[in-house]
Amino acid sequence: MAAQLVARFPGGMLSLAFLLHIEQVYNSYGIAGLVLAATSIGQAIAGPLTTRWMGVWGMRPVIILTASICAVAVGTIALVEMPVVLYMVVGFIAGITNPPIQPAVRTIYPKMVNSQQLTPLFSLDASLQEIIWVVGPVVTTFVATQIGTTQAILVALVFLVLGTTWFVLSPEVSRVRIPRSRRRMGAVLLRPPVMLATAVGFLLVGACAAVEAGVVATFGHGDASAGIVLAIFSIGSLAGGLTFGHRPIDAWAIARRMAIVFVGLALASLILELWWISIALFVAGVGIAPALAAMFTITAASVKFSETAEAYGWIGTGQLIGAAIGSALAGFMIDAFLAPGAYWIAAAFAFVGVVVAAVFHKASPDLRGRDASPIPDTEPIDTLG
């Protein structure tokens, strides 16, 4: 758990570090946005691609290869001043070689614990990842402003190298081998629970990205209030995951948990004062980690073990696309209606998430009293001692 958390820590650092660094080099947020877009496109493509490779070559070789190339690309952006096009190319390479730590660890979880412990473990994982989004941006901003943007990227690089090394040396990584999937790439996405988790994950993360833009627009880049509010947002998610994210999953679980998110985001748009937004976003946050835990659990329980990594890759890709679209729409609405427009977009994304989860609730299996482990493959699964 600790190893994968450290290995994923750059996820909360690199986007902001790239933004600050490229903006400083070219004095343009537009150019910085192009580099981030190229990186995000690479990450979106990598999701299902690298996860499927793990079933062919094994977790450890794929993670070592992708992390090595990613580290070189990240170091190049930090240390080499290049034309914009080359920054975009290197950013794309950094994105497409982002090591698939998250899908790997969520594939390992069902082999670490029994079926009764799986949902609480997913909830704990979803809760602890909030540490990445609370601490990562704070560390990046502090290093970038007090020392330099190059050093901010290099700090993230250190986390990438050390965390990935620690993770691949973990005995669980060597003991679990993913069987080669016999189905074509993308077929797992057609399973109703995976499609539901991907669609709702897209909407949930899109809502979060929109509200983050709204908070910044409300308080400004230089006001510490924005950081405080976003930290409270993440603390709400942590609290929700630890408090009731472990509860058994039924067909309506995702809809109920998304409803909590919607209510909080809708309330946040009513009064743009620090105290009110903090309370409203804490309420919204309470539903986030439990909703993610429910999505991960129904995915694990609905696919073959050989398909779990690819399934989580598709879900991750959906979340990345949601973040990009949520941020973009929030930006347009901020230009047109100031900060409230971003909260409207966030609430709209969450509301559609509730509707989708409710209308297609039958796609979510009722796991109360049932085994939430992946469906066994028809061939033996080798484990290494």
Mean pLDDT score, 90-95: 93
Query: Is pLDDT of 366 > 60?
Result: yes
| CA separation for the pair 100, 312 (Å, rounded) | 10
Under a CB-based contact definition with an 8 Å cutoff, are residues 283 and 260 in contact?
yes
Tell me the pLDDT tens digit for each residue of 293-324: 899 889 988 888 778 888 888 898 888 888 77
Query: Is pLDDT of 374 > 70?
Result: no
| Nearest Cα to Cα of residue 264 among 242, 294, 244, 234 | 234
The proportion of the chain whose per-residue pLDDT surpasses 70, expressed as a percent, equals: 91
Give me the pLDDT at residue 378, please. 56
**pTM assigned to the model:** 0.80
Tokens for 261, please give them: 């998110």
Give me the pLDDT at residue 11, please. 79
What value, to the nearest 5°, has the Cα angle with vertex 142 and ends 141 and 145?
Answer: 80
Which residues are paired to 304 by β-bridges?
375
**Is residue 33 packed enough to be buried (19+ CB in 10 Å), middle (13-18) or exposed (0-12)?**
middle
Collapsed DSSP state (helix, strand, coil) of residue 303: coil
Which residues are paired to 375 by β-bridges?
304
Tell me the pLDDT of the chain averaged across its residues.
Answer: 84
Tokens 């240390």 identify what position?
79
Q: Which domains does the chain have, with CATH numbers?
A: 1-178 (1.20.1250.20), 185-375 (1.20.1250.20)
Mean pLDDT score, 350-354: 98
Which residues are paired to 176 by β-bridges?
383
Tokens for 299, please give them: 């995915």
Beta-carbon count within 10 A of 148 CB: 15
| CA separation for the pair 226, 34 (Å, rounded) | 24
DSSP 210-230: HHHHHHHHHH-TT-HHHHHHH
What number of helices (H) and strands (E) belong to the chain?
Answer: 15, 0
Q: pLDDT tier at 134 (50, 70, 90 boundaries)?
A: low
